Amino acid sequence: MYIMDVPIKTNINKKIKYLAFIKTYGCQQNVSDSEKIENVLSAMGYQITNVKEEADFIIFNSCAVRKNAELRVFGNVSQLRKLKKKKPNIVIAICGCMTQQSHIVKKIRKDFEFVDIIFGTNTIEILPKLIKSVFLKRDIKNKKFAQNFKDINFKPFEILQKTDISIENLPCKKENKIKTFISIMHGCNNFCSYCIVPYVRGRELSRKSESLLQEFEKLVKTGCKEITLLGQNVNSYGKTLDKKISFTELLRLLTKIEGDFRIRFMTSHPKDVSKELIDEIVSNKKICKHIHLPVQSGSNKILEKMNRKYTREKYLKIIDYTRKKAPELSFTSDIIVGFPSETYQDFEETLSLVKEAKFSSLFTFIYSKRKGTLAADMRDNVPYQTKIQWLNELLKIQKNISSNFYQKFLGKRVRVLLEKEKNKKNIAFGKNSENLTVYIEDCSEFLLGKFVQVKIISQNNRVLRGKILHKNS
């Protein structure tokens, strides 16, 4: 269903300013979903606020990937109890990956009875209907309204586990953004043993290349300079489409669009990376020279238990092949420490892989059991203190590797997209193609959103500072 076909008849009077607050947890996919939620709310007449306390509608877009993220959501929802007492007319919603799980929904219903709306990851288009239901519920006390109400199939909690998602048609209103995201696919078929995503986001489904091209072209025309293609495993893009197309072919199509822009993408799965894809990334000027390639572990024993379907040798081969063609291309990765049955010897293999791969930065996580996953049935036998020790050891090693990677850019010219004016002293910042942040002094506001040539004049750990060489580059 196309969102604009949903009858949006809420009690919202256009003259009255209604404010909505959106809090996003977790990955870029959630950030992209929140963008869609923002568009839906704007279409309804809401204005977005950053101040939770002044909002009439509060929505938490939750993440279920790690226990910590889940605890944070519960903690923050619990704090809303006071606000709801003070402002009983406020509407509170929770959506995202957490609410795709029935035990979580039960907990929310039991412990946070003041939450009005719960919905999942694939049903953003019904948000207006859900908000309307809440308004109608409140108006039931009003005799005038009671009659209308009979006709409405009203559910205060509407938890939908829909899988036939309308992925092509959610509203795209992203004008005047310097950078943004496009979801090219949804769900995942990989079932890594520690991961809840395939259960909460469903099976892999790619969007048609025609609709992606249209959306992409529109964004470029409105001045967008950097577009990140999102998917749980972008390398398998196109496999579910009738008209087969590979991710490399999609990249070729999108980069043929006229305009000065660049493309990023995430996340890549090592098992699906091809030489053809690497060759395209290396040779195509519009594709950023950065690949986020989660390895998770350097031990083949642990990789097998994680159901990752590649070996450390295959992973390192990809890095080696790429670096021979593009020595400065930046690789980043994810690593889980303390997976069930992991020994120090396994962990040492991770350390040796990290030293060999020379990532520009790493996202490190302590293993946490997720109910319903395959690994949840494995004995979590690594003591928490050991996990912390391993994590610290890993971080210490990576710190030097990152610093050495950044140092390579000292004295070099890089092309930076200026994203944000940082402070009153006119220090702005942006990223280069390798996804490294560059701070630039003496930068004026009118350069925001422009590509500039910058000379890197200093480096300290992961901080690069530079001076602008050419304003139009």
> Which residues sit at the interface with ligand SF4, rule CB under 6 A?
188, 190-192, 195, 197-198, 232-233, 269
Judge residue 181's burial from the number of C-beta atoms within 10 Å of its C-beta, 0-12 exposed, 13-18 middle, 19 or more buried.
buried
Interaxial angle between packed helices 344-357 and 312-325, expressed in degrees from 0 to 180 and rounded to the nearest 10: 10
Residue holding tokens 């822009």?
A: 261
Q: Which is nearer to ligand SF4, 195 or 287 (CB)?
A: 195
Chain centroid, CA 467 distance in Å: 31
Q: How far is the CB of 100 from ligand SF4 (least distance, A)?
A: 13
Q: How far is the CB of 339 from ligand SF4 (least distance, A)?
A: 13
CB atoms within 10 A of CB 206: 23
| CA 61/CA 457 separation, integer angstroms | 40
Residue holding tokens 């963008």?
A: 35
| CA 401/CA 384 separation, integer angstroms | 26
Indicate the length of the chain as a whole number.
473
- Answer whether 212's CB lies under 8 Å from 254's CB: yes
Question: What are the Cα distances from residue 180, in Å, to 41, 264, 379, 463?
Answer: 18, 10, 41, 24
Q: How far is the CB of 191 from ligand SF4 (least distance, A)?
A: 6
Q: Which is nearer to ligand SF4, 233 or 350 (CB)?
A: 233
Q: Which is nearer to ligand SF4, 269 or 431 (CB)?
A: 269
Q: How far is the CB of 367 from ligand SF4 (least distance, A)?
A: 13
Q: Which is nearer to ligand SF4, 197 or 456 (CB)?
A: 197
Q: How far is the CB of 307 from ligand SF4 (least distance, A)?
A: 8
Q: How far is the CB of 232 from ligand SF4 (least distance, A)?
A: 4
| CA 131/CA 463 separation, integer angstroms | 45
Q: Which is nearer to ligand SF4, 49 or 100 (CB)?
A: 100
Q: Which is nearer to ligand SF4, 270 or 449 (CB)?
A: 270
Which of 118, 121, 124 lies closest to 77, judged by CA? 118
- Answer whether 445's CB lies under 8 Å from 454's CB: no
Helices and strands per DSSP (H, E), number in the chain: 14, 18
Q: Which is nearer to ligand SF4, 145 or 365 (CB)?
A: 365
458 is written with which tokens? 């200093």
Tell me the three state secondary structure of residue 224: coil
Which of 68, 98, 57, 92 lies closest to 78, judged by CA? 92
Question: What are the Cα distances from residue 215, in Å, to 142, 171, 175, 181, 238?
Answer: 44, 10, 11, 11, 17
Q: How far is the CB of 338 from ligand SF4 (least distance, A)?
A: 16
Q: Which is nearer to ligand SF4, 35 or 204 (CB)?
A: 204
Q: Which is nearer to ligand SF4, 30 or 232 (CB)?
A: 232
Q: Which is nearer to ligand SF4, 191 or 384 (CB)?
A: 191
State which H helix or E strand residue 226 sits in: strand 226-230
Q: How far is the CB of 267 from ligand SF4 (least distance, A)?
A: 6
Q: How far is the CB of 309 from ligand SF4 (least distance, A)?
A: 9
Tell me the three state secondary structure of residue 148: helix
Q: How far is the CB of 192 from ligand SF4 (least distance, A)?
A: 3
